[in-house]
C-alpha cells in the first residue's frame, strides 16, 4: 500500500477513496441514532439564525464528513508537493491524512474542528509563503483574520494565532509592524462581532467570550482504554519519523527545516489547546492530524525496510478498522 502512494500517480486518487471507505466502514455499522453537528461557538450562534444541529441523518453526517476529509487530504497533498517539503512528489500526505482522520469515532463525524482543518491548511499555504514573500504585513493580517474566523467556529482555534508569530520568528527578521498586523487582522473580525453584539443589545456580554482562556489546565484526561491502544502504532510512527528527520535534518534546505519546525509547533499548539473547552471532546485532536500526516508521510517516504514500514501501516489501518467493528 505504501509503495503505491510513494509515487505521484493520479490513479492513486482511486486507492485513496478505497482507504477512505475502509477507514469508515466499521463505524457505519454502529452509528448512533442521532449525531449533533455544531458549526459555530455559542457566542457566535446569533450569526447563524437557523436550526442546523440535526439537519443531517447520522449516515449522511458521516458521509459528508468523509467527503470533507477527502477534499482536505487532496489540498494538503497539493500543499506539501507545491512547497516540496518531502523532497519529491508523492501521494503519501493524502494517504496519511485519510488514515489518521479515521483513528477515533469522533473524528468520523461532522464537527467544528473538522471544518477548521480547512483553515489550518489555508494558514499553512500563507505561512510557508512567508519565507520568500515580500509583503509579510498583508499576509500576517490575513492570517489573523483566518484565526479569528476559526475562533468563531471553534474557540480553541484562537491559540493558532501563536503559529503566526512563530512563523515570523522562523522565516523573517523581526519587524514589529508584521507582528502587529496579525493582531489587527484578528481584531477586525471581532470588531464586527462586537458591532453585532451592540446591535442586539448584548455588548455587555462580549467580554465573556474570552473567559475560557482563563480555564485551569487539567491534571488528567479520561480517555477510553481502547483509545490508548490505538495510539501505540501512532506514537511509534511519530518516534520513528523524528529519528528519520534528525538524520536528514541538516541535509535539507533551510526553508524545509524551518517548515518542519513550524509544523511541530502547530502540532503542539493544536494538542494542548483542548483545555479551553468546558467539556473534553476527543474530536478536538483532529486539528493535530494536518501536521501529523506530514510527519507520517516523511517517515514512510524515506523508510528503507519495505517489510517493516508496510507492516507498520497495515497494523495501524487494521487496528482502527477492528476497533470500529467492535464496541469492546
125-153 tens-digit pLDDT? 999 988 877 778 999 999 999 999 999 99
More reliable by pLDDT, 263 or 323: 263
Q: pTM here?
A: 0.92
**266: pLDDT strictly greater than 70:** yes
Higher pLDDT pick, 305 / 292: 292
Instruction: Compute the half-sphere exposure of residue 69: CA atoms within 13 Å on the CB side of its CA.
Output: 32
* Rounded-to-integer distance, Cα 207 and Cα 185, Å: 18
Phi, psi of 88 (to 5 degrees): -155, 150
What CA–CA distance (Å, rounded) separates 161 from 123?
Answer: 10
**pLDDT reported for residue 61:** 87
Q: Contact at 8 Å (CB) between 203 and 191?
A: no
Take residue 168 and report the three cell numbers written for it.
515570523
Amino acid at each position: 500500500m505504501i509503495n503505491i502512494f510513494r509515487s505521484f500517480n493520479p490513479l492513486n486518487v482511486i486507492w485513496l477513496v478505497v482507504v477512505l471507505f475502509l477507514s469508515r466502514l466499521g463505524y457505519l455499522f454502529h452509528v448512533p441514532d442521532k449525531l449533533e453537528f455544531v458549526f459555530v461557538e455559542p457566542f457566535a450562534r446569533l450569526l447563524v439564525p437557523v436550526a442546523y444541529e440535526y439537519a443531517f441523518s447520522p449516515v449522511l453526517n458521516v458521509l459528508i464528513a468523509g467527503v470533507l476529509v477527502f477534499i482536505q487530504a487532496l489540498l494538503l497533498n497539493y500543499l506539501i508537493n507545491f512547497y516540496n517539503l518531502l523532497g519529491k512528489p508523492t501521494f503519501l500526505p493524502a494517504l496519511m491524512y485519510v488514515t489518521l482522520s479515521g483513528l477515533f469515532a469522533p473524528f468520523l463525524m461532522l464537527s467544528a474542528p473538522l471544518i477548521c482543518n480547512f483553515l489550518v491548511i489555508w494558514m499553512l499555504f500563507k505561512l510557508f509563503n512567508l519565507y520568500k514573500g515580500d509583503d509579510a504585513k498583508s499576509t500576517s493580517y490575513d492570517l489573523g483574520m483566518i484565526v479569528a474566523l476559526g475562533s468563531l467556529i471553534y474557540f480553541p482555534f484562537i491559540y493558532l494565532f501563536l503559529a503566526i508569530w512563530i512563523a515570523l520568528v522562523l522565516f523573517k527578521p523581526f519587524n514589529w509592524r508584521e507582528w502587529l498586523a496579525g493582531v489587527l487582522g484578528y481584531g477586525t473580525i471581532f470588531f464586527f462581532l462586537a458591532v453585532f453584539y451592540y446591535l442586539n443589545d448584548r455588548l455587555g456580554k462580549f467580554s465573556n467570550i474570552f473567559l475560557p482562556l482563563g480555564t485551569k489546565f487539567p491534571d488528567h484526561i479520561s480517555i477510553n482504554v481502547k483509545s490508548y491502544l490505538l495510539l501505540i502504532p501512532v506514537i511509534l510512527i511519530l518516534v520513528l519519523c523524528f529519528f528519520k528527520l534528525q538524520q536528514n535534518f541538516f541535509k535539507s534546505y533551510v526553508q524545509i527545516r524551518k517548515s518542519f519546525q513550524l509544523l511541530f509547533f502547530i502540532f503542539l499548539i493544536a494538542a494542548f489547546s483542548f483545555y479551553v473547552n468546558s467539556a473534553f471532546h476527543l474530536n478536538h485532536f483532529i486539528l493535530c492530524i494536518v501536521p501529523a500526516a506530514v510527519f507520517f508521510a516523511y517517515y514512510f517516504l524515506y523508510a528503507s525496510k519495505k517489510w517493516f514500514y508496510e507492516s507498520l501501516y497495515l497494523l495501524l489501518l487494521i487496528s482502527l478498522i477492528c476497533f470500529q467493528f467492535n464496541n469492546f
